[in-house]
Structure 1
Amino acid sequence: MVGTKKNISTYGKYCRWFLIKANSLLLFLFIASCEREEVLKEEVVNSLNIKIDNEQLNLINSRIGSNESCESLFFSCSYQNNKNPGFRIEFSLLKNGTLKNITLFDYRNQNAHFESADFNPKGLMTISNFNYDETKKYLHFDFKGYLLEQSYYDELDIDKKRKYIEGSVTSNNVRTTECPYTFTNMNFKGTALSFFTAFHFGEYDPKLLNNPYQMYFYTDNGFRALIKSKIKLPNLAVGTYKFDQNTIENRIDFDQYVGIFRATQLLWIRDIDWKKYQTAGSYTILEHTTINEEKVTRGEMNLQVYNKGALIHNITNGKFVVTDF
Structure 2
Amino acid sequence: MNVASILLFLVLYSCDKDDIKAEAINKSLDITIDNENLKLTNSSISSNESCNGVFASCKYDSSNNLGFRIEFRLTKNGALKNITLYDYRNENMHFETADFNPKGLMTITNFEYDQTKNYLHFNFKGELLEQSYSDELDVDKKRKHIEGTITIQDVRNTECTSFISDLNFETNNLKFSTNLSYSSFDSVLKKAPYQFYFYSDNGNCTIFKSNKNLWNLDIGTYTFNKNSIENRIDLEQYIGIFRATQLLWVRPIDWKKFQTTGSYTIKEHTIINGEKVTKGEMNLQVYDNGVLLHNINNGKFEVIGFK
Both structures adopt the same fold (TM-score exceeding 0.5): yes
SS of residue paired to 2:149? strand
Match of 1:125 in 2: 106
Is the counterpart of residue 291 in structure 1 residue 291 in structure 2?
no
Match of 1:302 in 2: 283
Is the counterpart of residue 113 in structure 1 residue 113 in structure 2?
no
- Structure with bigger helix share is 1
Structure 1 residue 45: Cα displacement: 2.2
Is the counterpart of residue 316 in structure 1 residue 297 in structure 2?
yes
Structure 1 residue 288: Cα displacement: 1.0
Separation in structure 2 between the aligned mates of residue 191 and residue 302 of structure 1, nearest angstrom: 15
Candidates 263, 273, 296, aligned match of 2:254: 273
Structure 1 residue 192: Cα displacement: 1.1
> Residues 62-93 of structure 1, C-alpha deviation per residue, up to 9 Å, x if partnerless?
23101000110000011112325111111000
Contact preservation (8 Å) 2:86, 2:93: yes
Match of 2:149 in 1: 168
> Residues 131-169 of structure 1, C-alpha deviation per residue, up to 9 Å, x if partnerless?
111111111111111000011111110100001111111
Percentage identity across aligned positions? Answer: 59
> Residues 246-276 of structure 1, C-alpha deviation per residue, up to 9 Å, x if partnerless?
1111100001111000000000000100110
Separation in structure 2 between the aligned mates of residue 24 and residue 291 of structure 1, nearest angstrom: 62
Match of 2:63 in 1: 82
Contact preservation (8 Å) 2:164, 2:181: no
Higher Rg:
1
Instruction: Note the residue ranges of structure 2 that are not aligned, 5 or more in a row.
Output: none
Separation in structure 2 between the aligned mates of residue 236 and residue 81 of structure 1, nearest angstrom: 57
Separation in structure 1 between the aligned mates of residue 301 and residue 271 of structure 2, nearest angstrom: 16
Structure 1 residue 217: Cα displacement: 0.2
SS of residue paired to 1:154? helix
Greater than 4 Å deviation, 4+ residue runs: 20-37
Q: Trace 1:43-82 onto structure 2 (pairs within 5 A).
A: 44-82=25-63
Separation in structure 1 between the aligned mates of residue 36 and residue 221 of structure 2, nearest angstrom: 56
Contact preservation (8 Å) 2:187, 2:193: yes
SS of residue paired to 2:116? coil
Contact preservation (8 Å) 1:67, 1:174: yes
Separation in structure 1 between the aligned mates of residue 276 and residue 6 of structure 2, nearest angstrom: 74
Which has the larger displacement, 180-189 or 269-278?
180-189
Which has the larger displacement, 74-83 or 86-95?
74-83
Separation in structure 1 between the aligned mates of residue 226 and residue 80 of structure 2, nearest angstrom: 31
Structure 1 letter corresponding to 2:100:
F
Structure 2 letter corresponding to 1:132:
Y
Match of 2:211 in 1: 230
Separation in structure 2 between the aligned mates of residue 27 and residue 163 of structure 1, nearest angstrom: 50
Which has the larger displacement, 286-295 or 312-321?
286-295
Structure 1 residue 28: Cα displacement: 7.3
Count of residue pairs brought into register by the alignment: 304
Match of 1:138 in 2: 119
> Residues 292-324 of structure 1, C-alpha deviation per residue, up to 9 Å, x if partnerless?
321110011000000110111000011100012
TM-score relative to the length of structure 2: 0.94
Q: Trace 1:176-195 onto structure 2 (pairs within 5 A).
A: 176-195=157-176
Contact preservation (8 Å) 1:71, 1:94: yes
Structure 2 letter corresponding to 1:285:
I
Match of 1:150 in 2: 131
Separation in structure 1 between the aligned mates of residue 9 and residue 34 of structure 2, nearest angstrom: 45
Separation in structure 1 between the aligned mates of residue 62 and residue 277 of structure 2, nearest angstrom: 48
SS of residue paired to 1:198? strand
Match of 1:95 in 2: 76
Structure 2 letter corresponding to 1:155:
E
Match of 1:10 in 2: none
Separation in structure 2 between the aligned mates of residue 192 and residue 53 of structure 1, nearest angstrom: 32
Separation in structure 2 between the aligned mates of residue 168 and residue 30 of structure 1, nearest angstrom: 33
Instruction: Note the residue ranges of structure 1 that are not aligned, 5 or more in a row.
Output: 1-17
Structure 1 residue 25: Cα displacement: 9.5
RMSD: 2.0
Contact preservation (8 Å) 1:148, 1:160: yes
SS of residue paired to 1:136? coil
Contact preservation (8 Å) 1:84, 1:108: no
